[in-house]
Structure 1
Amino acid sequence: MTPALDERNRIRAAMERILAGAPERSNGALTVVALATEAGVPRNALTQRHLDLKAEFYDKVRARGETPDSEKRLRQQLLKLKELREDDKAEIARLQTDLEALVRVVHQLTVENRQLRTELATPDTRVRVLPTQPRPTD
C-alpha cells in the first residue's frame, strides 16, 4: 500500500470514529486538527494534500445537522466583533459630541481673550483721581 493511500485510509477511518463519537487519539472535536490527530497525520496532510477528504469531513458534519467547531468559533468571534463595533460606534458618537462642545468653548475663550487684549491695549479713560482727605492735626 502506498504511503498516500495508507494516509487516506487512516484519515477516512479517523473521520468515521470522530463522527461516531468514538475518537481514540483526539478530543473528538469536529475540526481538521482533531481529524489529523485522530488519523495520526500532520495537519497539512488535510490542508494541502487531501483537500477532498477535508471537504468530505465537513460535508458529513453538516449533513448530520451539526456545525463544525471551527465554524462555531468563527461565528462567536464574528458576534463579538459586531458587539465591539457597536461599542465603538457609541464611543465615536460620544467623542464627536464632546468635540463639538470643546470647539464651542475654545471659540468662546478666543473671543474673550481678544476682547481682553483689546482692552489692555487701549488706555482706560475711566480712571479718576480720588480726592484725598485732609489729615487730622494733632
Structure 2
Amino acid sequence: MTPALAERARIRAAMDRILAGTPQHSNGALTIVALAQEAQVPRNALTQRHPDLKNDFYAKVKERGQPTDSERRLRKKITKLKELRAANKEQLAQLATDVENLVRVVNQLTLENRQLRRQLATPGPIVRLLPAQPQPPGR
C-alpha cells in the first residue's frame, strides 16, 4: 500500500471512530483538528492533500444533525456578545439621561452665577453694625 493510500485509510478509520464516539488519539471533537489528531496525520494532510476526506467528514457530521464544536463555541460567543450588547445599550441609555440632567444643572448654576455677579456689580446700601454700648452695673 502506498503512503498516500495508507494515510487515507488511517483518516477514514479515524473518521469512523470519532463519528462512533470512540476516539483513541484525540478528544473526539467533530473538528478537522481532532480528526487529524485521531488519524495521527498533520492537519494539512486533510486541508491540502485530502480535502475530499475533509469535506466527507463535514458532510457526515452535518448528516448527524449535530452542530460541530466550533459551531457550538460560536453560538455561545454570539449569545454572550448579545448579552454584552444589551448591557451596553442599557448603560448608554443611563449615560444619556445623566448627561441631560447634568446639562440642566449646569444651566441652572450658570443663571445663578449671573445673578450673583450682577448683585456684586451693583452697589447697594451699606449697612454697618455699631458696637453695642456697655451696660452700667446694677441695671
TM-score interval (norm. to shorter): 0.7 to 0.9
**Aligned twin of 1:76:** 76
Q: Identity rate of aligned residues, in percent?
A: 64
Partner Cα separation in structure 1 for residue 15 and residue 48 of structure 2: 17
Correspondences of 1:86-101 after superposition (within 5 Å): 86-101=86-101
Partner Cα separation in structure 2 for residue 95 and residue 25 of structure 1: 53
Structure 1 stretch 42-51 or stretch 25-34: which is displaced more? Answer: 42-51
Q: 1:84 to 1:5 in 2, by over 3 A?
A: same
Tell me, yes or no, if structure 1 residue 25 matches structure 2 residue 25.
Answer: yes
Shift of 1:57: 1.1
Number of aligned positions between the proteins: 137
Shift of 1:2: 4.6
Structure 1 stretch 2-11 or stretch 36-45: which is displaced more? Answer: 2-11
Tell me, yes or no, if structure 1 residue 116 matches structure 2 residue 129.
Answer: no
Tell me, yes or no, if structure 1 residue 37 matches structure 2 residue 37.
Answer: yes
List gaps (5 residues or longer) in structure 1. none
Q: Structure 2 length as normaliser, TM-score?
A: 0.83
**Over residues 10-53 of structure 1, what are the superposed CA-to-partner deviations in whole Å (9 max), with x where a residue is unaligned?**
22221111111221111111112111100111223334443332
Tell me, yes or no, if structure 1 residue 62 matches structure 2 residue 68.
Answer: no
**Aligned twin of 2:125:** 126
Partner Cα separation in structure 2 for residue 98 and residue 21 of structure 1: 56
Q: 1:136 to 1:28 in 2, by over 3 A?
A: closer
Q: Structure 1 length as normaliser, TM-score?
A: 0.83
Partner Cα separation in structure 2 for residue 54 and residue 119 of structure 1: 85
